[in-house]
Structure 1
Amino acid sequence: MPRLIRAYVRWVDAINYRLGRIVMYGIFVMVGILMWSSISKTFFLPSLWTLEMAQFAMVAYYILGGPYSIQMGSNVRMDLFYHNWSDRKKAQFDAATVVVLAFYLGVLLYGAVDSFAYSLGHFRGTPFAFLWELITTFFTAGPTAAGELLGYLERSPTAWRPILWPIKMIMTLGILLMLLQALSEFFKDIARIRGQEI
């Protein structure tokens, strides 16, 4: 495999491995939030934020842990015939399914970027152009100038009414990392079909 592909696989795998090892402790965050929810409902006034915050923590846990799960091969598989196949046939099948997964993740990524831009008050035009302009303005003219590009920030329709852009940003990042990990797995499958290792 070319050096550039090897470097890409090592880079993506290292990022997703480290992030996955950190995010796995998010389960304790969720347990803490839900325990506080139970305690506050039993002994005090119920907290408005606990259920929705637990949902946000679960989304972050799931979406940022997805690339790590793909990398470790611990994602769910229908293993009816797969375990009897040779390593080369498994790699061929995995490469074909990764292409389908990459298409699906590409569609999800477009929707996530659009939703993220919407949560920042962008209701017209292309979301990628808006986010690019927001980022470049932030780094060239500063946070105040970037803040002027923002519109009405989307809020949850619940009683707590948190702003939604942080969780939508996490979802966008997680889907992007999953797409990058899927491409890394594709390159590893191609290498295995050729009888090489990355």
Structure 2
Amino acid sequence: MPKFVRQYVRFVDAVNYRVGRFSMYLLFVLMGILLWSSVTNVFRHNAIWTLEMAQFTMVAYYMLGGPYSLQLDSNVRMDLLYHRWSDKTRAWVDAFSIFALMFYLGVLLYGGVESTVYSLEYAERSPTAWRPYIAPIKIVMVIGTLLMLMQATSIFFKDVARVRGEEL
């Protein structure tokens, strides 16, 4: 494989590793928010921000952790025939099927960017009592989608290398 492909794969894997490890800690933030919500409910002081903040934290958790999950190959796979195939056949099938994921992520990224631009232009806010701005979580979603698309491209390069008998 060309040097720039190897560098791309190394760079994307390193970035998604670090972002994924960071996003693991967002689960603790989510637990803290939900604990605070429970404690304040006991004292009849409802914090109006906790439900929505928990939702935003959960979105950040799975959008930023998704590429790391894909990198570790811990995603769910329909395995009727896959386990019976050789490594080379699996790499061929993965190299072709990753295009469906890349197309989906491309459409999702396009829509996410359009929606984020709209949110920034019009200072879109949530229609709840707390009324937080929506743009920050949309930016996180776009970043997560971009990282997922980059990781899918990295996996494609790894599969092509495996078909050629190389390892990246």
Task: Return the TM-score normalized by structure 1.
Answer: 0.83
Q: Report the Cα distance in structure 2 between the residues aligned to 1:181 and 1:104, rounded to whole angstroms.
A: 14
Structure 2: stretches of 5+ with no match in the other structure = none
- Return the index of the structure with the highest Cα Rg: 1
Number of the residue aligned with 1:103: 103
Q: Report the Cα distance in structure 1 between the residues aligned to 2:57 and 2:97, rounded to whole angstroms.
A: 29
Letter in 2 for 1:67: P
Number of the residue aligned with 1:179: 149
Q: Would you identify which runs of 4 or more consecutive aligned residues in structure 1 move more than 3 Å?
A: none
Q: Report the Cα distance in structure 2 between the residues aligned to 1:76 and 1:28, rounded to whole angstroms.
A: 24
- Does residue 61 (structure 1) correspond to residue 79 (structure 2)? The answer is no
Cα deviation for residue 163 of structure 1 reads: 0.4
Per-residue CA distance 1:72-126 (angstroms, 9 max, x = gap): 00011112221111101111111111111000000000000001001012xxxxx
Number of equivalenced pairs? 168
How much is the aligned-residue C-alpha RMSD, in angstroms?
0.7
**Secondary structure of the equivalent of 2:83?**
helix
Letter in 2 for 1:192: R
Number of the residue aligned with 1:141: none
- Does residue 189 (structure 1) correspond to residue 159 (structure 2)? The answer is yes
- Does residue 168 (structure 1) correspond to residue 150 (structure 2)? The answer is no
Number of the residue aligned with 2:45: 45
Task: Return the TM-score normalized by structure 2.
Answer: 0.98
Cα deviation for residue 45 of structure 1 reads: 1.1
**Secondary structure of the equivalent of 1:158?**
coil
Q: Report the Cα distance in structure 1 between the residues aligned to 2:80 and 2:112, rounded to whole angstroms.
A: 33
Percent identical: 63
